[in-house]
A and B are shown apart, each in its own frame.
Chain A
Amino acid sequence: MIRLEDLSVTIHGAPILSEVSLDIAPGKVTGLVGESGSGKSITALAMMGLLPHGSTASGHAWLEEGDVLAKTEREMCTLRGNRVGMIFQEPMTALNPLKTIGDQVAETLVIHGRATKREALEIARARLARVGLPEDRFPLGRYPHELSGGQRQRVCIAMAVALNPELLIADEPTTALDVTTQAQILDLLKRLVAEEGMSLLLITHDLAVVSGLADHVAVMQAGRIVEQGPTEALFRSMAHPYTRKLFAASSHQPARVAQAEDVPLLTVENAVRDYATARLGIFGQPGRFRAVNGVSFTLRRGESLGLVGESGCGKSTLTRAILGLDALQGGAIRLDGQEIHAGPHLDATIRRRMQVVFQDPYGSFNPRWRVERLVAEPFHLSPEHLPDRRDRVARALEDVGLEPEAMHRFIHEFSGGQRQRIAIARALITNPDLIVLDEAVSALDVRVRAQILDLLARLQEEHGLAYLFISHDLSVVRSVTDRVMVMKGGEIVEEGPTEAVFAAPAHDYTKALIAATPRIPADWQGEQNA
């Protein structure tokens, strides 16, 4: 179908891809796995002739018509969308918010002169039904903002397959989606490939996703394909050390001992949080949306408690209330018996005992401050000026495995994993009892994630920390928590010791979540562990 032959790309002289050779067989799913920065997306963009400015490519990308790299922009335009379709990671921004979904799907057909406007809309209708958006519930006149993330990704897929392309490139198509939605989208892609005889190039960092979907897998590291082969054989043999490392990291289990004391640290009692929604009409009352509905739980000293749920389930709202950022409408949250009130009047001693690490290592720091000031920010609460401020920052940085000299640098000089370490240092600096980890490892590559999880386990042991671990990633929660709570629709539907909940989920929703999590078949891993 498409054959890459010694494809090399440099951007402004820096080598990005070197001698990538890859065969994408018709009617098959090819998985391209690697960490961020390994060149996966550039490979896809090169196939589409969409390389960024300043890049030079050598080698060949053979399509039936000849070498894609040798084609002019005009020729590529007829190829894109027509023979090769593409879907992206972020369904929220991949659609034009001002056009209806019908128009957007029909557009591809009209541009390529395959149909008149009227015919195109009919085909769009059929295509949308094909990807699971039937006419009666999703008329063509819907706008993107009326759809959920998973539904938007379906629209993107409908657009990409509108012209029956021979090749569909899916660049991290489910990374931004919840597990249950991810399972549905992957299922849809699988069906499309099987029924339409299309080839699919699935680009992802998630080995488990690839193992369940791909026929052929290529593992990429630093712009090179280090290993490729049929999926099962590759997983069984794992000839290249990098593949083994990736694999080990993705199922990494940090060594940790349960050290929870039987002393309650954080208690949440019947927490209720309402939001005002849009007014219905000019004179209508604003509606109420109950994001957190009567949530109660206790987090013990030194315990790791997981909070699992999909986006919109209320876990972020609950976190903000616990951190004293938003006020509750009912119930109470207490840290060591002291009630947490939202707002600036929250007692400094409570604040100091509770810290947070956020998901996005890029948005978590003021870009104009040096690391020393960033890490020391929570000291703001200390009444007296601390003479040993610099020493404490140095110690916190050493604690998280960074050189103390890092304090003189700016945040943009650090990688995502290092930034997350700095975020943890910032949380540690006040010697807190509780650190809230709000999707703290979700944005990291598997290997970096494994390192951060190890770090968190070590810090917990050394400092007797309690963690509230909030995540949508079940496998991560399973590996680092003592107890887990499952949240849905603002309520906690299931709670219990982590292993017990995962081994025998009682609530249907928990069962659905666990079933939807992609997993590498257990028997494929035998040869590694032997």
Chain B
Amino acid sequence: MRLGAQLWVGAGLTAVFLLAALLSFAWTPHDVEALNIADRLKPMGAIYPLGTDHFGRDILSMLMVGARTSIAVALVAVGIGIGIGVPLGLIAAANRGSLLDEVVMRGNDLIFAFPSLVIAILITAVFGPSALNAILAIGIFNIPVFARVTRGGALSLWTLDYILAARVAGKGRLRISLEHILPNITNLLIVQGTIQFSLGILAEAALSYVGLGAQPPTPSWGRMLAEAQTMIYTNPALAILPGLAIVAMVLGLNLMGDGLRDLLDPRVRRARG
């Protein structure tokens, strides 16, 4: 795929969901919490553009609010990962080979050693299912990912002459990390961020699907899927629509991540000519 097209398709898909989520704060076609049994399981039509579910709630409205939930959970989880993982990675790289480096990186290995979704289920099961606990559970597993990416990127930068020049100028490790290293690994972080964002959406959907994410009546794509599965033969649209939403959002983010990587990486850009 051409460099531009990939980025624009990805950014476009992502933008659609972001706008839908933002719009849902101000307006949705119908109230998502109002039950209207008389209009249950309506097919797509003028009043209900995408139909209604078994409680008569408007699917389109639920998808819009659900996007909000998914995005919020994934965003905060990525924020936790970046907020804690990046400083850890920078510290580890600045003190390469030291005990501190070992502690940070072996701690990462420890978290990596656990199957993330299972632990997330454990956490939400112990502390009670809620969107907040889902965020925490997903966020914790983002920390080692960002710590590793940061350390890897930073280590190769630390060998460059301009870092040496900064050290000759008398700058300390902290200052070099903030002034020289961090700005030069933002590309890496942006790309990893979009990937983790899409994984966060998948994880949120999975937790909600098993009933451990956002609790009713807050709509969530994962729970919409779970509720639809009993009616999959009679009303397949109920399962297909939230499923499509998840797929499209994740695809959009991944395409955007790839596109950004190519756009931000001067080596790739040059190779493509």
Interface of A toward B, CB cutoff 8 Å: 12, 53-54, 323-325, 344, 346, 348, 351-352, 354-356, 358-360, 363-368, 377-378, 380-381, 423, 426
Contact = CB atoms under 8 A, between A and B. Distances in A.
B170 A346 contact: yes
5 contacts: A12-B273, A358-B161, A364-B161, A364-B162, A377-B166
A381 B170 CA distance: 7
A54 B273 contact: yes
A256 to B, nearest CB: 25
A368 B169 contact: no
Contact of A363 (B160, B170, B179): B160
A346 B171 CA distance: 11
B168 A53 contact: no
B161 A360 contact: yes
A312 to B, nearest CB: 17
**The 9 residue pairs across chains A and B that have the minimum distance between CB atoms:** A358-B161, A364-B161, A378-B169, A351-B170, A363-B161, A381-B170, A344-B172, A363-B160, A368-B183
Given A53-B273, A363-B160, A363-B162, A325 B183 contact: no
Contacts of A348: 170
Contacts of B26: none
Interface in B160-210: 160-162, 164-173, 175, 179-180, 183-184
A366 B184 contact: yes
A365 B169 contact: no
A351 B160 contact: no
Nearest to B180: A366
Contacts of A355: 168
Contacts of A354: 168
Contact of B165 (A53, A324, A426): A426
Given A54-B273, A380-B171, A356 B184 contact: no
A380 B172 CA distance: 11
B218 to A, nearest CB: 42
Given A53-B273, A380-B171, 7 more contacts: A344-B173, A351-B169, A377-B171, A378-B168, A378-B169, A380-B175, A426-B165
Contacts of B167: 325
A368 B160 contact: no
A356 B165 contact: yes
Contacts of A325: 164, 167-168
A323 B168 contact: yes
B170 A365 contact: no
Contacts of A367: 184
A361 B170 CA distance: 21
A358 B169 CA distance: 13
Q: Which of A54, A323, A366, A378 has the most CB of B within 10 A?
A: A366
Contacts of A366: 162, 179-180, 183-184
A366 B169 CA distance: 14
B162 A365 contact: yes
Given A12-B273, A53-B273, A366-B180, A358 B170 contact: no
A426 B161 CA distance: 13
A378 to B, nearest CB: 4
A381 B171 CA distance: 8
A352 B162 CA distance: 17
Contacts of A358: 161, 164-165
A119 to B, nearest CB: 39
A216 B184 CA distance: 47
A351 to B, nearest CB: 4
B264 to A, nearest CB: 12
B156 to A, nearest CB: 11
A344 B169 CA distance: 10
Contacts of B162: 363-366
Contact of B168 (A344, A351, A359, A368): A351
A342 to B, nearest CB: 10
A366 B166 CA distance: 10
A380 B170 contact: yes
B99 to A, nearest CB: 15
B176 to A, nearest CB: 10
Contacts of B171: 377, 380
A366 B172 CA distance: 16
B186 to A, nearest CB: 9
A359 to B, nearest CB: 8
Nearest to B163: A366
Nearest to A351: B170
Nearest to A358: B161
Contacts of A363: 160-162
A172 to B, nearest CB: 22
B169 A380 contact: yes
Contacts of B172: 344
Contacts of B161: 358-360, 363-364
Contacts of A380: 169-171, 175
B90 to A, nearest CB: 16
A364 B171 CA distance: 15
Interface string B31-69: 000000000000000000000000000000000000000
A364 B169 CA distance: 13
A429 to B, nearest CB: 10
Contacts of A323: 168
B96 to A, nearest CB: 14
A445 to B, nearest CB: 19
B168 A381 contact: no
B210 to A, nearest CB: 44
Nearest to B174: A344
B170 A356 contact: no
A368 B165 contact: no
Contacts of B175: 380
A324 to B, nearest CB: 8
Contacts of A359: 161
A340 to B, nearest CB: 12
Nearest to B184: A368
Contact of A377 (B165, B184, B273): B165
Interface string B242-273: 00000000000000000000000000000001
Contacts of A351: 168-170
A325 B173 CA distance: 12
B165 A364 contact: yes
A408 to B, nearest CB: 18
Contacts of A377: 165-166, 169, 171
A113 B55 CA distance: 73
A359 B160 CA distance: 11
Nearest to A368: B183
Interface string B210-247: 00000000000000000000000000000000000000
